[in-house]
Amino acid sequence: MGRELELPDMIQRWRCDCAYDGTEFSGWQKQPDGKAVQDHINAALEEVFHHPVKTVGAGRTDAGVHAKGQVFHFDKNWEHGEESMEQAIRSHLPKGISPRKIRKVGPRFHAHLSARGKQYCYRVVKGWAMPQEERFVLSLKKQKISTLEMEQAAQFFLGEHDFSAFSASRGKDSCENPLKHVWKVDLKAQGDSLEFIIEGSGFLYKMVRSMVGALLDVGTGKLSPQKIYEILKSRERTEVVVSAPAHGLSLEKVFYRRKQL
């Protein structure tokens, strides 16, 4: 038999699923002002390990957008268990950021590159939202809305399309491939609550908020369902598409291939 290859000790990779109220933060990705969610998580890890630790997130969320299922990973050896790691990080995080589950994963797992898709939810309330909900939902107030026409228009988003008409420029990242596959756009109405559940392979900057904003304009009669199709096929962003406010949006889940978990 051949000589066995001796590998050096591997550094442990950790996956963390976390939630946050995005109201007071500058989005997910670290920022010069130090007020992004990732900035606070990096600071917490530095407190735990006494030196900087690099984190990699599944994707960005904009300022004001929330998350129930953001995912990030980092590499660090830790002599204690997963629950101990979670408590150590949690003790150094500000109010509004909460690790929900931390687990050991293999070195092939990558929070961003291993992701095969994401689920977002945009929440709307007909009329005025309760005060404790205002940070997380869009209140329609006196606007009347037709869910039937919105459901008709939503079907045009399904499949693989160039979503340039429903995105905004991110400057240096404006060269991102605009071709995305959306496999779910569901509207769930219950009482005065309305949720837009959107799933796809990936999303451009402000794409989900632009899709929801356009659908709401269909629901209020400003746009026809057919107009959504025409805008999508134009592949050009115009003032006709207005992004829904950030505070109604939440990153609910990141999908991964099971063998990489």
Residues that are catalytic: 62
Half-sphere exposure of 224 (CA within 13 A, CB side): 3
Give me the residues paired with residue 19 across strands: 98
C-alpha Rg value of the chain to the nearest Å = 20
What are the respective helix, strand and coil percentages of the chain, to the nearest 5? Answer: 30, 30, 45
Name the one residue in this structure whose structure tokens are 């402000």. Answer: 206
Q: Are 198 and 122 in contact (CB under 8 A)?
A: yes
- What's phi and psi for 257, nearest 5 deg? -70, 130
Give the burial string for 114-136 (b: 16+ CB within 10 Å, else e): bbebbbbbbbbbbeebeeeeeeb
